[in-house]
Amino acid sequence: MQLIYDTLVVKNNRFEFVPSLAERVEESADHQTFTFHLRQGVYFHNGKPLTSADVKYTFESIKEPATKSPIRGTVAKIDSIDAPDQQTVVFHASEQFDFIGSLPAIGIIPEGAGTEQTAAPVGSGGVGLEADVAAADLAGFILVEGLFDLATGRPLAGPPRRPLSRVRLELRGTELFAVGVEERTV
C-alpha cells in the first residue's frame, strides 16, 4: 500500500524520520503539539490537490470507532486536529508520546473518501490503480501506472499526467510481485 499512499514522514536510508508529504515538522517542547507544513503541488491520483483537510480527515477517520481501523490505537492520544490553512495541520495530544514514530504506517486519503477507498483506492503515492479496471476483474492482479519521479522516488508534482509505464502486479500472500511492464513514451 505504500506505493499507492504517501505519508507525512518516511524513514531515510539511515532510519531517520524525514518529511515526505510534509515539507517540515515542528514538535512542541512538551511533545504534545505537532505541526506539519505540507508540500505544495501534491495531487491525488484523481487530480485533486492534497490539503490539510485531507490529512485531518484521514486521522479523524482512523480515530472514529465505527471505522474499526486496526491502527486506531496508534493515534488514540490525539485529542484534536486543526487545519488552520490549506498547507498546515496541527495535532494536539493528551500526553507525550512518539507521534512522529507512528506516522510512516499512515497513508493520507482524500477528504470524504469513505468506504469507496477499499474498492477503488485513491492516494498520492508513486502508483495509482488504473481507473477503468474493476478490482473484481483483477483476479489477483493489479494494474498500476507510474506517477513518480524515478530519481527521487517522490510523486510527480502537478496534476496526474500520462504515465510513463504500466506494471502488472501479482499478489502472492502479502507480497506484490511485478509480472509485466509496458514502457510508454510521453
Residue 169 is predicted with a pLDDT of 63
pTM of this structure: 0.73
Residue 150 is predicted with a pLDDT of 46
Domain boundaries, the chain: 9-118, 119-183
The SS3 of residue 128 is strand
Topology given in CATH for the domain delimited by 9-118:
Dipeptide-binding Protein; domain 1 (3.90.76)
Contact 160, 147 (CB under 8 A): yes
Residue 119 is predicted with a pLDDT of 65
CA angle 67, 45, 142 (to 5 degrees): 80
Residues of the chain with pLDDT under 70: 1-3, 115-120, 126-186
Residue 167 is predicted with a pLDDT of 60
> C-alpha cell of 73?
490505537
Q: Which residues contact 160 (CB under 8 A, 6 or more apart)?
A: 43, 45, 46, 47, 128, 147
